[in-house]
């Protein structure tokens, strides 16, 4: 079994189905800590593998790998010489599970996979793990197009990247259009064109759809684009410059101007990529900086000798961990679902660097170098990345400090016992009651937590269209009923804090599941609607509800605030807390309106065929291909409908009856 097989099976099965396993059934009820670990040690093999430590509730505390499972777990069982973090982890362990692998490399890859899936509390966790965008030159069409791509590489073609952001891809494609005149339209649009589109008129496309350029000449443009994106930019520019000179000498100034514009576009692409090292063809550069108990890892991407941007990560890790420990754990997770370049440059030597090199090479299927350069151009790259990491973490600490002061001011303004760790803001959006949507945004100590935003499509048929109070009751009912079901009720005095030693420090930066405060965009009526649901669920004392009504003439700065048991009040116009609340309310308003517009747009393009039972995507496609439009389908007779592939007489009669009441 190789490493990739182990990873694939692990994603589908529990480790018990792979190899060796002890679960909580092997332990005595109520026994936790060293006794559990000592019991497991007796049956462990002296072989490489991965282990998991769980608490009494079955939550995974830690995932680790070992060259020898027996020796590694024996260290935990000794009960001495542990850091506070390890000691806390051992004390909470109620059961352990193990997977035996053939090699330590397989164990490293499996460990990274499990950490990303299970997100254990005591591991270094990669956060903000979004997929990267790429440029795709399609390979399944006679006239390949150039597109932005994100996600699985299932489409045939050549992929170039990664890019640090979608904006960087869009700007690059924009310039490449001017340089190589490649199409960006979909295949369906390409097939339906009868005359060139606007992009051809403004010299952003060569018009292969209508034969404005021959297939061979268009193929030459595609080859030039591939060569440029593959790092042979100097050769491509030299050839275009030569063609421009030849056209000029032949007095074909119009053609020479086209080549000139293409050269200008290529220069524009390269000028927006920052430093382009001469001796680094393909590499990722990682640099880590630690400060204030936090970590920032800056990643620069170099492909084809060009800089395709950078991104900052802020992994969750125990403050006691050294920079090289955090960086090593981060790297294994980072490449768990991403292609690895031929070279990885690091600002710090990491533990088990040789093992990491072997693991990345195994995953990539070719040799991968992992280096910590000490001099030369590669050292300059890591130093540059380190400077960016230092500055990014400095900005984050400053923003966090400012946010913390605002939270403290918020608590003082509204009489809270302590600064809130989670604030939820609710707003509704609709037009005369149609396509009504409720929006919830979340803010914490580090700003907006956009991955926790939620939208609520108003479903109740009992609500009168436009009844904002009824909508708010539905949103509150659905939100907090589900919260109670998934997380239970918060324990008094323990809702915000989870421990008493430094092992909890990373956890404290996370936003808890339960809100301390909910802000309702509305006045006394909206607040009363929300309070009614909180009272019915028995959680009035657990959540502070505040209504925010727009000021006189809806002027910002004159908002009035409502709280249960208090008279309404306003805040000074220049109060920082007021500005903070306005930001929260505006973000909730933006999110709710965006969700409403998306729902309204979906309703506008809804096809009448979607309402017919038994008409799935295949039959719908066949009907539209045969008749052209849904309106034409509605006018068709039963015999005409039967003539469509996949439409039986029973289905044809069902479609006919749907559009004809007296069918």
The CATH number linked to 8 is: 3.40.1440.10
Is residue 54 in a domain? Answer: yes
Is residue 619 in a domain? Answer: yes
Q: pLDDT tens-digit profile of 640-650?
A: 899 888 888 88
Whether residues 368 and 340 share a domain: the answer is yes
Whether residues 177 and 324 share a domain: the answer is no
Res. 425 pLDDT band, cuts 50 70 90: very high
Q: Count CB-CB contacts under 10 A for residue 229.
A: 24
Whether residues 583 and 612 share a domain: the answer is no
Q: pLDDT tens-digit profile of 138-173?
A: 888 889 999 988 877 778 888 887 777 777 778 778
Res. 517 pLDDT band, cuts 50 70 90: very high
pLDDT at 606: 64
Mean pLDDT of 468-480: 91
pLDDT at 129: 56
Whether residues 616 and 580 share a domain: the answer is no
Res. 636 pLDDT band, cuts 50 70 90: confident
Mean pLDDT of 487-498: 58
pLDDT at 122: 86
Mean pLDDT of 597-617: 75
CATH of the domain at 509: 3.30.420.340
Q: pLDDT tens-digit profile of 86-97?
A: 888 888 888 888
pLDDT at 442: 94
Is residue 318 in a domain? Answer: yes
pLDDT at 475: 92
Residue 615, pLDDT > 70, answer yes
Provide long-range contacts, Cβ within 8 A and 24+ apart, for 357-366. Answer: 358/105, 359/3, 359/105, 359/108, 359/109, 359/332, 360/335, 362/2, 362/3, 362/4, 362/105, 362/109, 363/3, 363/4, 363/109, 363/335, 364/339, 364/340, 366/342
Whether residues 562 and 583 share a domain: the answer is yes
Whether residues 630 and 587 share a domain: the answer is no
Whether residues 92 and 216 share a domain: the answer is no
| Least confident window among 267-281, 292-306, 314-328, 409-423 | 267-281
What percentage of residues in the chain have a pLDDT greater than 70? 86
Residue 409, pLDDT > 60, answer yes
Is residue 597 in a domain? Answer: yes
pLDDT at 547: 93
**Can you tell me the distance from the alpha carbon of 44 to that of 42, in angstroms, rounded to the nearest whole number?**
6
Residue 411, pLDDT > 90, answer yes
Mean pLDDT of 447-454: 88
Is residue 266 in a domain? Answer: yes
Whether residues 471 and 570 share a domain: the answer is yes
Is residue 343 in a domain? Answer: yes
Is residue 408 in a domain? Answer: no
pLDDT at 382: 92
pLDDT at 553: 58
Whether residues 591 and 631 share a domain: the answer is no
Mean pLDDT of 313-334: 86
Mean pLDDT of 98-109: 86
Mean pLDDT of 444-464: 85
Q: pLDDT tens-digit profile of 38-51?
A: 888 877 888 888 99
Q: Total domain count for the chain?
A: 5
pLDDT at 272: 47
* Secondary structure string (H, E, C) spanning 246-311: HHHHCCCHHHHHHHHHHHHHHHHHHHCCCCCCCCCCCEEEEEEEEECCEEEEEEEEEECCEEEEEE
Provide the residue range defining the domain that includes 387.
Answer: 283-394
Res. 531 pLDDT band, cuts 50 70 90: very high
| Least confident window among 176-180, 253-257, 549-553 | 549-553
pTM, entire model: 0.62
Whether residues 358 and 470 share a domain: the answer is no
Is residue 172 in a domain? Answer: yes
User: DSSP 3-state assignment of 313?
Assistant: strand
Whether residues 439 and 544 share a domain: the answer is yes
Whether residues 641 and 569 share a domain: the answer is no
Mean pLDDT of 326-330: 89
Q: List residues bridging with 438 in a β-sheet.
A: 428, 456
State which of 221, 246, 271 marks the end of a domain.
271
State which of 338, 364, 394 marks the end of a domain.
394
**Can you tell me the distance from the alpha carbon of 300 to that of 276, in angstroms, rounded to the nearest whole number?**
11
């Amino acid at each position: 079994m190789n490493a990739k097989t182990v990873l694939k099976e692990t994603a589908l099965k529990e480790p018990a189905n792979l190899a060796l396993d002890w679960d909580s059934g092997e332990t005595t009820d109520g026994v936790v800590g060293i006794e559990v670990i000592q019991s497991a040690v007796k049956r462990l093999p002296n072989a490489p593998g991965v282990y998991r430590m769980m608490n009494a509730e079955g939550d995974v505390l830690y995932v680790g790998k070992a060259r020898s499972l027996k020796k590694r777990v024996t260290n935990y069982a000794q009960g001495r010489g542990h850091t506070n973090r390890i000691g806390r982890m051992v004390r909470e362990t109620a059961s352990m599970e193990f997977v035996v692998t053939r090699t330590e490399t397989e164990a490293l890859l499996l460990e990274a996979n499990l950490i990303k899936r299970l997100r254990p509390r005591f591991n270094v966790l990669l956060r903000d793990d979004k997929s990267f965008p790429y440029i795709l030159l399609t390979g399944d069409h006679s006239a390949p197009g150039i597109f932005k791509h994100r996600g699985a590489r299932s489409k045939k073609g050549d992929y170039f990247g990664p890019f640090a952001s979608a904006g960087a891809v869009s700007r690059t494609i924009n310039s490449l259009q001017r340089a190589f005149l490649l199409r960006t339209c979909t295949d369906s649009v390409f097939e339906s064109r009868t005359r060139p589109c606007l992009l051809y008129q403004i010299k952003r496309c060569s018009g292969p759809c209508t034969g404005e350029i021959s297939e061979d000449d268009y193929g030459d443009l595609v080859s030039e684009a591939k060569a440029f994106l593959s790092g042979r930019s100097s050769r491509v520019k030299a050839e275009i410059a030569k063609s421009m000179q030849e056209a000029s000498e032949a007095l074909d100034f119009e053609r020479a101007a086209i080549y000139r514009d293409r050269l200008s576009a290529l220069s524009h692409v390269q000028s927006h990529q920052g430093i382009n090292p001469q001796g680094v063809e393909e590499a990722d550069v990682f640099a880590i900086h630690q400060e204030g108990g936090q970590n920032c890892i800056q990643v620069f991407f170099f492909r084809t000798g060009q800089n395709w941007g950078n991104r900052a990560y802020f992994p969750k890790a125990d403050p006691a961990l050294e920079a090289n420990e955090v960086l090593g754990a981060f790297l294994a997770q980072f490449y768990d679902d991403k292609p690895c370049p031929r070279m990885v440059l690091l600002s710090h030597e990491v533990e088990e660097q040789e093992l990491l090199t072997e693991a990345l090479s195994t995953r990539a299927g070719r040799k991968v170098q992992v280096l910590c350069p000490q001099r030369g151009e590669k050292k300059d790259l890591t130093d540059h990345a380190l400077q960016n990491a230092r500055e990014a973490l400095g900005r984050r600490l400053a923003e966090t400090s400012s946010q913390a002061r605002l939270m403290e001011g918020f608590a003082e303004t509204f009489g809270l016992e302590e600064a809130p760790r989670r604030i939820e803001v609710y707003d509704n959006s609709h037009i005369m009651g149609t396509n009504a949507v409720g929006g919830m945004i979340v803010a914490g100590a580090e700003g907006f937590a956009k991955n926790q935003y939620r939208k609520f499509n108003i479903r109740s048929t009992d609500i009168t269209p436009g009844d904002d109070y009824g909508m708010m009751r539905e949103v509150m009912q659905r939100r907090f009923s589900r919260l109670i079901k998934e997380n239970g009720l918060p324990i008094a005095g323990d809702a915000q804090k989870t421990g008493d030693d430094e092992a909890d420090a990373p956890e404290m930066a996370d936003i808890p599941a339960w809100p301390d405060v909910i802000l309702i965009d509305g006045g006394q009526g909206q607040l009363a609607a929300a309070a009614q649901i909180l009272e019915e669920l028995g959680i009035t004392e657990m959540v502070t509800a505040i209504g925010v009504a727009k000021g006189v003439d809806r002027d910002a700065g004159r908002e009035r605030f409502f709280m249960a048991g208090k008279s309404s009040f306003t805040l000074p116009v220049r109060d920082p807390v007021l500005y903070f609340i306005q930001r929260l309310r505006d973000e909730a308003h933006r999110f709710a309106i965006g969700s409403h517009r998306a729902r309204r747009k979906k309703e506008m393009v809804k096809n009448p065929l979607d309402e017919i039972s038994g008409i799935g995507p295949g039959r719908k496609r066949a009907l539209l291909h045969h008749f052209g439009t849904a309106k034409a389908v509605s006018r068709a007779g039963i015999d005409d409908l039967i003539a469509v592939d996949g439409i039986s007489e029973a289905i044809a009669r069902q479609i006919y009856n749907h559009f004809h009441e007296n069918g």
